[in-house]
Structure 1
């Protein structure tokens, strides 16, 4: 499968790229600084560009069967602006123009899915996020809205506490108030879950919460 990855130089993004290549996929990665992705592979195409450049984003998306976004906002309180929201809007427009429908990305349980039932995380997490990471929450809200308001065939995995622990191969996924979902999850397992959504149809146009 031909997969375009955004956020490929981040902690989760690099794992996504590596696992895709290990599984035999062809990968295109758009990065502002491609040298940060210290991978070489005959099935990997690195392109230099910014999310703010619609032409660069569309070039990266062209010919893809699916897009995986491992983009995530900075948690630094000093950071302002919404470049990832605007970048995600460019990704959505590029996918629509290139007729690429499958989008897989990341968000937070601070944002609810319609399939959720009332849960303490809906009350606590948004309040904590607004107090501690207001700009990051604004970015995640905007990024998610750009995708869910489109006609794309999306799956957005909601994560709470990514860790650098070794992969466990164990994943809990579902909806708050319905399923027993924890908080921590290794980045390696997060990447594996995102890749599994290329063929898994359970969470089409949904935002499952996931954990180990």
Structure 2
């Protein structure tokens, strides 16, 4: 099977990890292109022709050039028939989940970024408080259901996974949220799922080199 998809990303990018995670869990071949964010490769004319916002991830599929992980996951679900919904209302419902998750769990990404990549240390207590609020909402959601939308993995789970996976880099112990921790373990038990630093290449990787 030829690789119809090309993903552009960076190993430390949680949004990029979502796209790689989807394709690995779906068992779909793809080429991977490493974007050296430190050197500014994301702002070069060649890359901006692929991703107009100059960010990772980006997806190329035929003549389609897409950016922003939630949009890419929605596109992949519709295009491949995996981890989405066959019904129009179901697709809108998953869109609702992506919007909600981006709101309540974004502080996890922010508190990780402040600690790992630097920033105003005075912002850390505020982000920590917001991260705890979001995780409490996630805990309530996952109490009594195996996955975010119900009984099966969807793009909502794939969207949320990298934030929970690297929560420790934001000084967050997910053991304090048992339903979230159980969900995380269920996700890791799914075929193709792996932790971010296991999953993400640090250099270009053609489809044939994925094992």
Normalization by structure 2: what TM-score? 0.34
Specify which structure has the higher proportion of strand: 1
Specify which structure has the higher proportion of helix: 2
Q: Which has the larger radius of gyration?
A: 2
Normalization by structure 1: what TM-score? 0.34
